[in-house]
Structure 1
Amino acid sequence: MTETYDILVIGAGPAGYAAALEAAALGRSTALVERNLLGGTCLNRGCIPTKLFLGATAPIPAIAAQSRLRLGQGSFTADMAALQKRKTSLLAATRQAMTKTLETAGIRLISGEAELSGPTQVLVRTTDDTQTRVDFHRLILALGSAPSWPELLTPDGEAVLSSDHALDLSTVPVSLIVIGAGAIGLEMAQFFQRMGSSVTLIEAAERIAPTEDPEICAQLASMLKRQGVTVRANATVCALERTAEGIRVRLGAEEEVTASKVLVAVGRKPNTHFPGLETILPARKKNALEVDENLMLSEHIFAVGDCNGMTLLAHAAEDQGRFAARYAAGKISGPYAPGPIPFCIYGDPEAFRVGPTLEETRANGLSCTESKAQLAANPVAQAAAAPHGLVKVLWHDDTVIGVSAVGHGVLHLVTTATIMVAQGWSRSQAENLIFAHPTLDETLRHALLTTPQ
């Protein structure tokens, strides 16, 4: 059987799903191939389940914060089995809704393994063990990414866990070592600490959240320590040893840390394998699908989202998918220029960054200044008994080029900050905007109006 479409999308994660819907909305005949579950890593093993777990346990730090002020007493205990049941039902309902949306949009959903069988042809081995040939005018590859680790830290699913394993645990480990303090490690550390695990967070770089502003990182580390998480930065794992009690992690020549389980969260790698692609791009790189300025691999093929290695974030992937669909449909021309992309860390505290850090601008020879404001003076932060944290604004002359923040609820500010960076706001624009009172947004205003240094 042969089917023909204007635009064929491989992969139904954030990038592929967005690309397919955009293509169909533009009137192009569209098919979407997925070998596993709709939603990709983001829905099934990443963004959504972690936020569900963090949201469900949010009352724990909130009650603890009010109790420290002696304003009352109480407790909240989350049920891991109930959380897993809720996760399963929520994800299934979301996938069902996605399927209905695709049907309504007139998109053909094909379940199976695909391979490139010609310059404009794909062969799909469907789940019922039949083959479907699909001819296309444009192909959009949205292959996603996978957890990455060195051989020393290879998970076994028992004592040594990946984030996938951790999200499926039916019981809470008594103690947990989290290796890697990027966004994934930080969020998982917070969740398991709330659930009662004794958590040790280990990062090889000199600070946790190593890609972020140093002052933001320092405050983040201080807040996590205050919550009971043991934070070890500048610590290299040399060996893992399984014991009768769990696992022993050796740091350097003399120091050891033990726990019942270890979670490896040292990063992700782009998925680059797509059968048959090597016949079109025999000299391609292996670590990512290297695209041109229009996100294209060849005359007929795009690669979007995590697989091209540009920015491994779901919202960046969606934006790339929509761009590729519009470009493939002839509605826009390149190059792809997404503007500032926000980076977020969830939990309590939260953190975000839009634009470069001061370190990065100095490394690139750009003269910049910073202004900042503390959350301690903010009435909303005080009401939440969470006065720790700050907002920082990075300036080049009189133009906002970056915003960073850490603290309780600061992700409420991220879209406003992204608009300001994208539009290159000046101090006068901030002065002429009315910020609602009382809100966390006022701390962003104070940071904008403080004299840069």
Structure 2
Amino acid sequence: MKYDIIVLGSGPGGYVTAIRASQLGFKVAVIERENLGGICLNWGCIPTKALLKSAQVYEYLKHVDEYGLKAKEIDKDFDAVVKRSRNVADGMSKGVQFLMKKNKIDVIYGFGKLKGGKKVVVTDDQNKETEYSADHIVIATGARSRELPFLPIDGEKVIGYRQAMTLPKQPKKMIIVGSGAIGVEFAYFYNSMGTEVVIVEFLPNLVPLEDEEVSKQFEKSFKKSGIKVMTNSSVTKVDTSGKGVKATVKTKNGEEVIEADILLSAVGIKSNIEGIGLEDIGIVVDKDKILVNDYYQTNLPGYYAIGDVVPGPALAHVASAEGITCVEKIAGLNPEPVDYGNIPGCTYATPEIASVGLTEAQAKEKGYDIKVGKFPFSASGKASAAGTKDGFVKVIFDAKYGEWLGCHMIGAGVTDMIAEAVVARKLETTGHEVLKAIHPHPTMSEAVMEAVAAAYDEVIHL
């Protein structure tokens, strides 16, 4: 079979690439070894949000009296929560199947391996091999949990994010190693469900890529909710010989042994680039990533790579944008390269975190003279009415030209608010323009305007 474009992998990078290619008139096939939608739809972004929503609703029910309401015998059903999450994931995956049919994209199930001459050999579940060719092949094979040498994942006592979503029973105590988005989202979920949670983070702050003030507020909120936080700490040894897990944790005060039912390793991800033929055909790889140019062309003509397998943030929305840019360039359009300085990052624990652009420390390191504004949700009428007063919006502007350098939010619903900053930065909006754009009241989003007003010494409600 000959195609114009073959996409290897059907995650939010792969399936979006395929659909855009089809819209542009190409004959397209997608090769998928497991489920349409990839990790994001089946084992990542979407089902985790379903788990987190159940946890959030349960939290509301536990504090129902704070809203002047009464409820008796509030409890959770862990199995039902997990089942709901899986149903949500299944529904989303079926949605991608519909999109493939609608856009006349062929779905080929099996493990794809690249060959020279722009060919892919697909091995199906019956071990039958079939060869396909295309003018252009896009590699979008994604990533999986990274394993540390002293922390091998056995799938039972030491687990990755996939097992954390479908545990047969709720653990009484859990150790989570790593406090990036995956680590803290599961920490929030299991803590809300009643599991005793300990987070071990090697760096000085939780969510270490965030602005330091956000990290400190987040740690404060987590500690308040009963999660034990161990920063500047690392797991050096794990013993799984007994009933549960014994983790030896090195801290600045010495070593400590922590016992738990399960340890979740959330120390990052590893690109899925093994066994797909990269070495055979000579595609250049460096530090676990396929090297590409601004339009995702590898060193071999006709072979491209996007998403978690290339350098840059390993985020679903980034993979989608890269795939669209890639195929639009193939089609002879003139797409703008992806602006990696304007990528929003979101963490969906409670409180939520959302950010884009430079942190305050990064802006200073780059030599900017800056204006910084902060507006706490404790001063927001909407937040007070909703009972979600934790957190704030922080904005950073270049004092000379008014350029919006960074925006950092922590609080309820902020992942739905960050797009304002992303669009404004894309349009090169200045601080005064944001300030004079009337925001609706009462909303959480008006905190953005208030934070900008604070940066320019015009704040009203502080």
TM-score bracket for the superposition, by shorter chain length = over 0.9
Name 1:436's counterpart in structure 2.
440
> Structure 2 counterpart of 1:345, which letter?
T
- Counterpart of 1:261 in structure 2: which amino acid? I
Q: Which letter maps to 1:26?
A: L
1:378 equivalent in structure 2: 380
In structure 1, the residue matched to 2:310 is 308
Counterpart AA for 1:410: V
Distance 1:237 1:224 in 2: 20
* C-alpha separation in 1, matches of 2:276 and 2:393: 47
Distance, in Å, in 1 between the alignment partners of 2:94 and 2:231 is 42
* Contact persistence 1:13–1:144 (CA under 8 A): yes
TM alignment of 1:96-245, pairs within 5 A: 96-242=94-240, 244-245=242-243
Q: What's the offset of the Cα at 1:376? A: 0.3
SS at match of 2:3: strand
Q: Structure 1 18/84 Cα, relative in aligned 2: closer, same or farther at 3 Å?
A: same
CA contact (8 A) 1:305 1:318 kept: yes
Let me know the Cα RMSD of the aligned residues: 1.9
- CA, structure 1 residues 412+363, in 2 after alignment: closer, same or farther (shift >3 Å)? same
> In the alignment, is the contact (CA less than 8 A) between 2:397 and 2:431 conserved in 1?
no
Any idea what SS the aligned residue of 1:254 has?
A: strand
CA distance in 1, matches of 2:107, 2:85: 24
- 1:407 is aligned, of 406, 411, 418, to 411
Determine if contact 1:401/1:424 at 8 Å carries over to the other structure: no
The structural deviation recorded for 1:70 is 7.7
1:381 is aligned with what amino acid?
Answer: A
**Which is further off, 114-123 or 273-282?**
273-282
Q: One-letter code of the match for 1:42? A: C
**TM-score normalised by the chain length of structure 1:** 0.94
**What per-residue deviation string (whole Å, max 9, x for no partner) do you get for residues 369-409 of structure 1?**
31111110111211222211110001112111210011122
Which letter does structure 2 place at the counterpart of 1:122? Answer: V
| CA displacement, residues 313-367 of structure 1 (integer Å, 9 cap, x when unaligned) | 0011111111111112222256444661100010221011111111122333333
The residue aligned with 1:329 is 331
2:244 pairs with 236, 246, 250, which one? 246
Distance 2:209 2:341 in 1: 19
- The aligned runs of 1:357-396 (5 Å cut-off) are 357-396=359-398
Range with bigger deviation, 276-285 or 405-414: 276-285
Deviations 1:131-152 (CA, angstroms, capped at 9, x unpaired): 3221211111101011112111
Matched AA of 2:362: E
Q: Which amino acid aligns with 1:223?
A: S
**Is 1:44 matched with 2:42?**
yes
- The SS at the match of 1:450 is helix
Counterparts of 1:256 and 1:83, CA distance in 2: 31
Structure 1, 58-67 or 14-23: larger mean CA deviation: 58-67
Name the CA distance, whole Å, in 1 between partners of 2:335 and 2:448.
Answer: 36
Q: Does 1:95 align with 2:99?
A: no
Contact 2:175 2:264 (8 Å CA) reproduced: yes
- What percentage of residue pairs aligned between the two structures are identical? 29
Aligned to 2:342: 340
Give the distance between the partners of 1:429 and 1:324, measured in 2 at CA: 33
Shift of 1:128: 4.2
Which range is displaced more, 160-169 or 279-288? 279-288
Tell me which residue corresponds to 2:11.
Answer: 13
- Alignment TM-score, normalising by the size of structure 2: 0.92
Deviation string for 1:54-85 (max 9, x for gaps)?
Answer: 11121233344554x58444464331211232
Relative to structure 1, the CA distance from residue 130 to residue 371 in structure 2 (aligned partners, 3 Å threshold; closer, same or farther) is same
Q: Do the aligned residues in 2 keep the contact of 1:270 with 1:309 (CA within 8 Å)? A: no
Aligned with residue 355 of structure 2, among 334, 353, 368: 353
Distance 1:427 1:100, change over 3 A: closer
**Residues 47 and 7 from structure 1, CA distance in 2 versus in 1: closer, same or farther, beyond 3 angstroms?**
same
Asked whether the equivalents of residues 371 and 455 of structure 2 are also in contact (C-alpha less than 8 Å), the reply is: no
CA contact (8 A) 2:346 2:355 kept: yes
1:49 CA displacement: 1.1
Supply the distance in 1 between the matched residues of 2:318 and 2:447 (Cα, whole angstroms): 27
Q: Which residue of 1 aligns with 2:269?
A: 268
Q: Distance in 2 between matches of 1:65 and 1:407?
A: 18
Aligned residues of 1:144 and 1:305 also touching (Cα < 8 A): yes
- Residue identity opposite 1:227 in structure 2: S
Does the 8 A contact of 1:208 with 1:217 survive in 2? yes
The separation in 2 between residues aligned to 1:386 and 1:334, in whole angstroms, is 39
Residues 87-132 of structure 1: per-residue CA shift (max 9 Å, x gap): 3333223222211221121111111122222232222223344332
State the match for 2:460 in structure 1. none
Secondary structure at 1:222's aligned position in 2?
Answer: helix
Q: Indicate the SS of the match to 2:455.
A: coil
Greater RCO structure (CA 8 Å; 6+ sep): 1
> 2:53 pairs with 47, 52, 55, which one?
55
Secondary structure (helix, strand or coil) at the match of 2:389 reads coil
| Paired amino acid for 2:175 | I
User: Where does structure 2 lack aligned partners over 5 or more consecutive residues?
Assistant: 458-462
Distance 1:132 1:335, change over 3 A: same
The AA in structure 2 aligned to 1:379 is G
Give the secondary structure class of the aligned counterpart of 1:309.
Answer: coil
- Shift in Å, 1:284: 3.0
Q: Secondary structure at the match of 2:441?
A: coil
Deviations 1:182-221 (A, max 9, x none): 1000000000011110111111100000000111001001
Secondary structure of 2:112's partner? Answer: strand
